[in-house]
Amino acid sequence: MSDLQILLISIGVALIAAVVLYNWWQDWRVRRSMQSRFPETERDPLMQDAPARREPGIWSSEPAPPAGGDDVAEADEACEAVIDIAFGRPVLGETLGGALQSVSRVGRKPVRIFAETDGGGHRARLREGENYVSMQLAVVLANRSGPLTAIEWSHLWTLAQNLAERFDGVIEAPEQDAVLERAQALDARCAEMDAQVGLILQLAQASTRRAIIEAATAVGFLPHGERWAWMAENGLPRFVMQFEEGVPETPEHVHHRVDLVLDVPNSVPDDQAFSRMMAVGRDLAARLGASLLDDQGRTLSDSAAPAIDRQVSGLYDQLDKAGFLAGTERAARVFS
């Protein structure tokens, strides 16, 4: 190597060192300026007044149960497919909760999360301060959107893989073909037992939403979530009132019709379910000056009620025998 080459290399090294030193000096000036404006504290100054974040469906706000106490809810093998993940080390609840923020649904199928603590406790909701050694991702095999698809299952599998990689975990799951076969079978079974029976109240003159709700309240309807329902003694809806679509949900907007809907799998088993809805419908129709029609828009005869009652009662029996008793959480999981 010649003296000229050595000189050029030395100059290059010196220039690189000068650039590095200059950048360090600039960074040091900026940090010193920021520290003078915002002194360091143990907590982020932007978060000092903010409450701890809770992720819906993941965190429990209830006090931790006594040692050894377990949450009651667990994966339902009758209608869910489960992916198990065993972590390589215990994971703090806050850390795990952060990783699960996007794990609540794949496509049109809800996903439930269960976890096991390092003490052997079972949790349906994560709790702050607890460490978890494993977890389950349970996805419903079928609902009213149809059977679980290959795309939805692959999405859940990808989420599970990401969690396993993040926490040095090991995945155990059924084969995709077996899962999809179960999903198809469950969807076919439930389709035979699914039914919604409706009545139409056709108003002679348009009425405001406020007036309709006042009349419905007078005959016994109560608010239930975002709808109005005629409730059973156990607090579950027997049937619900639905406003026509396309009309803004404000008290003063007018409606030309309202519907009463008996969602069989999600109602309370009753041998006179339709007759009961029909009687309430006639009372409400009289108050609103409306005609009571069947769900095809035809005039309804009282003599038709007993036959419809028998059909609905038969569906209740089928649901019960198939393990999906109407009005239960399992039924709601599949018929939603």
pLDDT digits (tens, 9 = 90+) for 242-276: 998 888 888 888 999 999 999 999 999 999 999 99
CB 322 within 8 A of CB 315: no
The two three-digit tokens of residue 305, written as one number: 């009620």
Measure the CA dihedral 167/170/174/177, to 10°: 80
- pLDDT over threshold 80, residue 8: no
Percent residues over pLDDT 70 in the chain: 80
For residue 226, the Cα-to-chain-centroid distance in whole angstroms is 15
The domain defined by 80-177 folds into Cell Division Protein Zipa; Chain: A, (3.30.1400)
CB 248 within 8 A of CB 179: no
pLDDT digits (tens, 9 = 90+) for 142-186: 999 999 999 999 999 999 999 999 999 999 999 999 999 999 999
Which of 51-65, 132-146, 197-211, 306-320 is predicted with the least confidence, judged by mean pLDDT? 51-65
Distance (Å, whole) CA 332 – CA 81: 16
pLDDT at 12: 63
Domain 196-334, CATH: 3.30.1400.10
Quickly list DSSP for 85-109.
Answer: EEEEEEEEHHHHHHHTTTTTEETTE
Smallest CA-to-CA distance from 143 within 192, 238, 79, 196 is with 79
Smallest CA-to-CA distance from 273 within 317, 216, 328 is with 317
Half-sphere exposure of 185 (CA within 13 A, CB side): 10
So where are the chain's domains?
Answer: 80-177, 196-334
Whole-angstrom CA distances from 85 to 82, 90, 162 are: 10, 12, 11
DSSP state of 273: H
Distance (Å, whole) CA 302 – CA 314: 20
pLDDT digits (tens, 9 = 90+) for 280-330: 999 999 999 999 999 999 998 889 999 999 999 999 999 999 999 999 999
